[in-house]
Structure 1
Amino acid sequence: MCRIYGYFGSDRAVRAMEAARDAQLSGGPDRQAHVRGEDWGLGCNRLAIQDPSHGRQPFANADGSVHAVFNGEIYNFRAIRRELAGHGVHVEGDSDGSVLLPYYELHGDRFVERLEGMYAIALVDLRSGRRLKLWSDPLAVKSLYYEVTADGIAFASEPGGLAALRTGRPEVDPYAVDHYLNWQCLPPGRSLHTGVSSLRAGEHLVHDGRTAATRVPRTTAPPPDAGCTPDRLGSLLAGEVERMSLQSAPVAVQLSGGLDSAVLATLLGRRRTDVTAFHVTHEGTHPSDEETYARDAAAHAGIPLEVVEIREAELPELIGPMVAALGSPNATPHALSAYVLFREIAKRSFRVCFVGDGADEQFGGYRRYSTALAATDDTWQERYLDRLSLVPRARYRRLYTPEYRALLDDAGGSRERARELLGPPAPARLEQLLAFDRLHKLPGLNLRKLDHLSMAHSIEGRVPYCQPAVTDFARRTPDALKATETRRKGILWDAGGPLVPQSVRTRQKQPFTFPVDAFLAPGTKLWEFATDVLAGPRLSTAGFLSAAAVREVLDAHAVRRDQARLVWGLMILELSLP
């Protein structure tokens, strides 16, 4: 796992590369190196987990005509190494990244189709026609930001790293505010700054020194496979967890107390004796508290549980560092819980943490899926998209200045683009919903957050439910086994039920959460902090939001009308502005 950065098409000063390196040190504290050529440069900060004595980056082939850097983990690298050996290619050591460059030389651009894992890859090919090539894994688990200008292209794993390589002054993208309120984040392909993009799920970019071309793979829904049974899913998950946990370093698992993480805890506990579960709680008594379930799940898995408590008094001091670590605004309050949890996991000297992200999007675990399946009118798509927004579209548009609304109406707002992405029909409505969430909502809202918050503490977050084989299985699973109007994530419950305690099997589902309603109650420290942040927001002085409308939100919440999620979201966006 690493942080990568670089440029192509025009030269950058050594100090710019060093600044990009320094901006991303937490994600690669073990070794930093870069290589520069004529109008190109590649750099890598390494978090060494798999065979630290090998796999030093940047990689180069024998004659120096191809160079590469890589962030992520390739879990089938040993099979790739055996394939390379069959072609007479010897790969030194046991590092997963070491197979990438010779594999590219063997298969060309299509080598990524054979990779199983999570990755962002940058490669400079100086052979016939100089090219920079960037790749993202199929679900964009690992982030990569880039900017294309007349001077070429620059890229980095984090916005701060890219800022060091940019030649111009960053400006806030006028459409970013609308994107954020519509998605609760900036969707894949977008960023807070004009001209800065992020690689989308499975995207491939090629820059020839003058122009960039991008390609996103087009996939069609496979036919349902009756062979996709709970037993096969159970075996698949066990196999994925096994090959994802081969390193010698001890393993942590984020244990919420729900099905997804409890299954991972049991599978890890069966394989290793050095697994520790971590669970986050929040000071006080809250309906969302899951500590009892987490303790039951850890005991069932036979692993110790570390409980981390977030105290009310420390909240204002945590918000700023969390926003900085995110790099891109994210409105989900539980981002704070994740930030603190990864911080404490790092303090215990862990470098690998398994998380359950992706299970709901793969197998239909959210209530909104059942609601959409039950809808009989033509407005279900709009209601579904409202469920994904910070607040419904009609409500957040009332916050805009007349001028900002007019700009969006002329150019087309974020909701119009979301409708286009959701619109292409699949063979069935459920797969239409899951494909939308899997390729757009999951990477932008969940996986980017995981990548940035974990790497801010030098932790590699591993996501078994986002493995390509699991995605393929989920897409081929008949809809009735995933979600119906009355049951959600059915096949995973059937496969994972025997792996979790009775208390987890019979509990009501709830998301990994942060009790924002309680901590943002008027009179609390967080409320005072939020009202101070939003007292004279730059969001208003820049012409995006009406100052009077923001004041109305705060006044409404002050008299106990529940505006906590909106207040939180506006606070995070305001603090994210440069």
Structure 2
Amino acid sequence: MCGITGIFDTRDRRPVNRALLEAMNLAQFHRGPDEGGVHLEPGLGLAHRRLSIIDLSSGRQPLFNEDGSVAVTYNGEIYNFAELTEELKAAGHRFRTHCDTEVIVHAWEQWGADCVRRFRGMFAFAVWDRNSETLFLARDRLGIKPLYYALLPDGLCLFASELKALMVHPHLPRALDPRGVDDYFAYGYVPEPRTVYQAVRKLPPGHTLTLRRGAPPAEPREYWDVPFTPHAALDEAEAAEELVARLRDAVRIRLVAEVPLGAFLSGGVDSSAVVALMAGLGDAPVNTCAIGFNVPRYDESAFAAQVAEHCHTRHRTRQVDPDDFDLLDRLAGLYDEPFADSSALPTYRVCELARQEVTVALSGDGGDENLAGYRRYRFHAAEERWRGLMPGALRRPLFGALARAYPKADWAPRVLRAKATFQALARDAVEGYFHSVAVVRDEQRNRLYSEAFRRQLDGYHPVSVLRHHAARAPTEDPVSLAQYLDLKTYLPGDILTKVDRASMAHALEVRVPILDHPLVEWISGLPSQMKLRGGEGKYLFKKAMEPYLPHDILYRRKQGFAVPLDQWFRGPLAGRLEETLLGERMGDCGLFNPDTLRHLVEAHTSGRRDYSAPLWSLFMFEAFLRRNEGS
């Protein structure tokens, strides 16, 4: 795995500052500590940091074609590179290495922008074609690998694997994007393509961007989407057998490496399935690792150990203090943008543990989104059934009025919380799903923001992110629509971002077989009843894995990878919370209502309310502001 960065003059051939490009590249040293490379020519600079995985003795980047007219700087793995190499050799291309990187330059020569459709893997890369003076940026279909870019007013295009590399450039505008800030507090991350900065964008998953010198700025172009095309009649037994065969193949092709390889093992269904299939594909024991907590409600290490024993892995567990505060300041530096998924802390620690033994680790990420594992899918489907009993034109005003009239009772037993039920029934499907995933909900965000910041938002609402994707969704099934929205937002913006930054901080490559795109396409075509049935998420997946894993592993209650925020903010972090959120930085930034900040802190620390989610979002935003001031 690697880090890439570059500078391209879209208007002319002004010289690129080598020292500046090298400084941008050095900002991503952690992504590739094995080797660095820089290429300069008039109007262009490409740079690369390398973590050697395949063809350790060659494959240095930027890498060129035979005559030096096409160059690539690349981050990722193309798992079908051997087959593509043979096809390209048959077409007359000559190869000098045995790595997947060289496939990209020859694939560009052979197929142009359509080359990305031929790649099976995870990638973010930039191809420079000197003959046509074209810079081609591409990101993999699911967004496993990141790619940021900025088009500056003077015509320069900057790009990099991480935002911190772009921030090295002295002419990059630092103004915050009010919509990006609102998105962050709504979702806990900033969804693609927006970032927290007005001047910077993320290239969305499954998109490319083609920039030609002298041509008007282009827009990203989509080359792939999750199809949700229904399969022909397929019974449950056939579907289960094919699911295992396809996942086994996805695991198999991810075992190619010339460095030590292992897997994360949480004891959940997804990572356990990956480990079970890995164990069946080789003779040597699989290297697995897990994190344990000394607080029972957060600890899954016993389940991981059970799977390790069942699969005869070489297993290691590291007990982590739940009061692991050393990482709090470091997280802001890892993620560059504000990022409010608290499971980033244990994710960092499990990556640290894995890197002690291996350079490549397989994970089970993507299973919940693909196979309907989140409980919120069940709730969303139930709400949609109720909404379907009454036309929207009647339902919205009726239940909206009831919601306004009924008192708020978050403190009461769920059966008495009719206000929340009325509010849910008044919403449409997308509003309802947004409400289920929002970290800081509408009323709370409205009270949180200052009047001046609300004016800057000018009526913007983060639900528009989901509406944009829902309008293009290839499915109307309620469960499938919720999955589609997560595959477009939560998966790349939160889950994959969290794992990429935490793993690359330790120069660890993480491969995600459940996000093998042919597998994702096939799973999307299964009827939602095979994914969610009778309140059981991942129904078919669990049935399919019954011959491979213990029953109590497959059917235990989903636990998640959490940390005790509510306890932290009432105990060891209470003083720091008050100092941080009620201090000068949060007051002077002009974004927040100080009375609301004080209420959140006092109500939570006194035990009257659980505001741990919005407080953590604010806590991490302050850490971002502090770091941003020094950048």
Q: Give the TM-score category using the shorter length.
A: over 0.9
Question: Partners in 1 of 2:444 and 2:533 — Cα distance?
Answer: 30
Please state if 1:358 is matched with 2:366. yes
Q: 1:250 to 1:218 in 2, by over 3 A?
A: closer
Is the radius of gyration larger for structure 1 or structure 2? 2
Identify the residue that residue 369 of structure 1 maps to in structure 2: 377
1:382 to 414, 427, 431: 431
Q: Is 2:189–2:338's contact at 8 Å kept on the other side of the alignment? A: yes
Q: SS of 2:448's equivalent?
A: coil
Question: Partners in 1 of 2:370 and 2:535 — Cα distance?
Answer: 18
Question: Partners in 1 of 2:468 and 2:258 — Cα distance?
Answer: 46
Identify the residue that residue 515 of structure 1 maps to in structure 2: 564
Equivalent position amino acid for 1:482 in 2: K
Question: Partners in 1 of 2:490 and 2:276 — Cα distance?
Answer: 28
Question: Partners in 2 of 1:174 and 1:12 — Cα distance?
Answer: 32
Identify the residue that residue 265 of structure 1 maps to in structure 2: 275
Please state if 1:320 is matched with 2:329. yes
Equivalent position amino acid for 1:468 in 2: H
Identify the residue that residue 216 of structure 1 maps to in structure 2: 222
Identify the residue that residue 500 of structure 1 maps to in structure 2: 549
Identify the residue that residue 185 of structure 1 maps to in structure 2: 189
Identify the residue that residue 300 of structure 1 maps to in structure 2: 310
Q: SS of 1:51's equivalent?
A: coil
Q: SS of 2:230's equivalent?
A: coil
Please state if 1:171 is matched with 2:175. yes
Identify the residue that residue 330 of structure 1 maps to in structure 2: 339
Question: Partners in 2 of 1:537 and 1:233 — Cα distance?
Answer: 55
Equivalent position amino acid for 1:70 in 2: Y
Equivalent position amino acid for 1:216 in 2: E
Identify the residue that residue 255 of structure 1 maps to in structure 2: 265
Question: Partners in 2 of 1:279 and 1:532 — Cα distance?
Answer: 34
By how many angstroms is 1:510 displaced? 2.2
Q: Is 1:266–1:302's contact at 8 Å kept on the other side of the alignment? A: no
Question: Partners in 2 of 1:39 and 1:76 — Cα distance?
Answer: 33
Question: Partners in 1 of 2:509 and 2:461 — Cα distance?
Answer: 35
Question: Partners in 1 of 2:592 and 2:315 — Cα distance?
Answer: 44
- The more displaced of 383-392 and 21-30 is 383-392
Please state if 1:538 is matched with 2:585. yes
Identify the residue that residue 29 of structure 1 maps to in structure 2: 33
Identify the residue that residue 420 of structure 2 maps to in structure 1: none
Q: SS of 2:297's equivalent?
A: coil
Identify the residue that residue 143 of structure 2 maps to in structure 1: 140
Q: Is 1:60–1:66's contact at 8 Å kept on the other side of the alignment? A: yes
Q: Is 2:142–2:205's contact at 8 Å kept on the other side of the alignment? A: yes
Question: Partners in 2 of 1:553 and 1:509 — Cα distance?
Answer: 29
Q: 1:248 to 1:269 in 2, by over 3 A?
A: farther
1:547 to 567, 572, 594: 594
By how many angstroms is 1:72 displaced? 0.4
Where do residues 53-452 of structure 1 align in structure 2 (5 Å cutoff)? 53-128=57-132, 130-150=133-153, 151-165=155-169, 167-210=171-214, 211-217=217-223, 219=225, 220-227=227-234, 229-272=239-282, 273=284, 275-282=286-293, 284-312=294-322, 315-346=324-355, 348-375=356-383, 376-377=386-387, 379=427, 380-408=429-457, 410-424=458-472, 426-452=475-501
By how many angstroms is 1:73 displaced? 0.5
Which portions of structure 1, spanning 4 or more consecutive aligned residues, are displaced by more than 4 angstroms? none
Q: SS of 1:213's equivalent?
A: coil
By how many angstroms is 1:413 displaced? 2.6
Q: Is 1:159–1:327's contact at 8 Å kept on the other side of the alignment? A: yes
Q: SS of 1:142's equivalent?
A: coil
Q: Is 1:537–1:574's contact at 8 Å kept on the other side of the alignment? A: no
Q: Is 1:399–1:550's contact at 8 Å kept on the other side of the alignment? A: yes
Please state if 1:479 is matched with 2:528. yes
By how many angstroms is 1:435 displaced? 1.3
Question: Partners in 2 of 1:11 and 1:479 — Cα distance?
Answer: 55
By how many angstroms is 1:396 displaced? 2.2
By how many angstroms is 1:411 displaced? 4.8
Q: 1:218 to 1:262 in 2, by over 3 A?
A: closer
By how many angstroms is 1:309 displaced? 2.1
Unaligned runs of 5+ in 1: none
By how many angstroms is 1:423 displaced? 4.4
Question: Partners in 1 of 2:477 and 2:592 — Cα distance?
Answer: 39
Q: 1:462 to 1:81 in 2, by over 3 A?
A: same
Q: Is 2:430–2:466's contact at 8 Å kept on the other side of the alignment? A: no
Question: Partners in 2 of 1:350 and 1:260 — Cα distance?
Answer: 20
The RMSD of aligned alpha carbons is: 1.8
**Partner deviation per Cα, 1:8-63 (whole Å, 9 max, x = no partner):** 11543111111111100010001100101111111110000111112111011222
Question: Partners in 1 of 2:45 and 2:579 — Cα distance?
Answer: 43
Q: Is 1:269–1:301's contact at 8 Å kept on the other side of the alignment? A: yes
Question: Partners in 1 of 2:548 and 2:622 — Cα distance?
Answer: 43
Unaligned runs of 5+ in 2: 393-426
Q: Is 1:206–1:214's contact at 8 Å kept on the other side of the alignment? A: yes
Q: 1:274 to 1:50 in 2, by over 3 A?
A: farther
Question: Partners in 2 of 1:105 and 1:218 — Cα distance?
Answer: 21
Q: Is 1:12–1:39's contact at 8 Å kept on the other side of the alignment? A: yes
Q: 1:159 to 1:169 in 2, by over 3 A?
A: same
Q: SS of 2:56's equivalent?
A: coil
Equivalent position amino acid for 1:466 in 2: L
Question: Partners in 1 of 2:361 and 2:594 — Cα distance?
Answer: 42
Q: SS of 2:487's equivalent?
A: helix
By how many angstroms is 1:116 displaced? 0.3
Equivalent position amino acid for 2:140 in 1: D
Q: SS of 1:212's equivalent?
A: coil
By how many angstroms is 1:505 displaced? 2.1
Question: Partners in 1 of 2:578 and 2:534 — Cα distance?
Answer: 41
Identify the residue that residue 574 of structure 1 maps to in structure 2: 622
**Partner deviation per Cα, 1:399-435 (whole Å, 9 max, x = no partner):** 1112222322x25232233333234552422222111
Please state if 1:15 is matched with 2:23. no
**Partner deviation per Cα, 1:478-505 (whole Å, 9 max, x = no partner):** 2211124522111211222322223202
Question: Partners in 1 of 2:258 and 2:44 — Cα distance?
Answer: 36
By how many angstroms is 1:508 displaced? 0.7
Q: 1:432 to 1:479 in 2, by over 3 A?
A: same
Question: Partners in 2 of 1:499 and 1:328 — Cα distance?
Answer: 40
Question: Partners in 1 of 2:146 and 2:232 — Cα distance?
Answer: 32
Equivalent position amino acid for 1:217 in 2: Y
Equivalent position amino acid for 1:487 in 2: E
Equivalent position amino acid for 1:334 in 2: S
Q: Is 1:177–1:544's contact at 8 Å kept on the other side of the alignment? A: no
**Partner deviation per Cα, 1:276-307 (whole Å, 9 max, x = no partner):** 2111122x323132111111111111102211
By how many angstroms is 1:343 displaced? 1.7
Question: Partners in 2 of 1:280 and 1:55 — Cα distance?
Answer: 34
Where do residues 28-47 of structure 1 align in structure 2 (5 Å cutoff)? 28-47=32-51
